[in-house]
Homo-oligomer: A and B are copies of this chain.
Amino acid sequence: MPTPDLAIDFWFELASNYSYLSVMRIEALADDAGLVVRWRPFLLGPIFASLGWNTSPFNLQPQKGAYVWTDMVRQCAKYGLAWRRPSVFPRSSVLAQRVAMCAAGEPWIGAYTKAMMRANFVDDRDIGAEATVLEVLRALDLPAEAIVASAQHPDNKLRLRQQTERAAQLGIFGAPTFFVGEEMFWGNDRLDDAIELARGVR
């Protein structure tokens, strides 16, 4: 059993395509390294808004955006992950992330986030719709209606807002972002470096 000290904080967004790569990879990498993953859902929207952006920078910078979809094809091929460019990007992830907030300490967090990422980036489903979230939870044999009700409780909404404020305070400006202690790593490209540092910290 890893001790709670040997941990990597994983700040992710279910609307974020590069978070998709890390959600699909992090559990196996952390298990191999004997690390606990601390799941930290937050909302990118308010972070981008604080930078003056009303949507993803991939939409605001068309040339970068065009490149990103090529890069995703290559990255998914490299990691052996399925991929379909979503017909809507970014999708609203507010309800999905509220559910992730409820799930963060639960054993089904990995299965839930993977299933939602597949819905968004493989099956091109509207993860913003409550029906999609319910369907994903049901497929995992979870009490879907009760979980969504908890997710929509004002206390849980507040927790997600506070966690997003915490992300801003930590200097997070994109997703995925990893922390090992106070060391920040940005982007799926740095997941292996973060794991290496956490491993060396033992």
Contacts and interface: CB of A to CB of B under 8 A. Distances in A.
A51 interface: yes
A173 B61 contact: yes
B67 A186 contact: yes
A64 interface: yes
Question: Is chain A's binding surface mostly helix, strand, loop or mixed?
Answer: helix
Copies of this chain, tallied across the complex: 2
B186 A66 contact: no
18 contacts: A61-B173, A63-B171, A63-B172, A63-B173, A64-B173, A64-B174, A66-B171, A67-B171, A67-B173, A67-B184, A67-B186, A70-B183, A70-B184, A71-B186, A71-B190, A74-B193, A78-B193, A189-B189
Nearest to A78: B193
Interface in A129-143: none
Interface in A37-54: 51
Given A63-B172, A63-B173, A78-B193, 7 more contacts: A61-B173, A67-B171, A67-B184, A70-B183, A70-B184, A71-B186, A189-B189
Interface string A162-194: 000000000111100000000110100110010
A40 B43 CA distance: 39
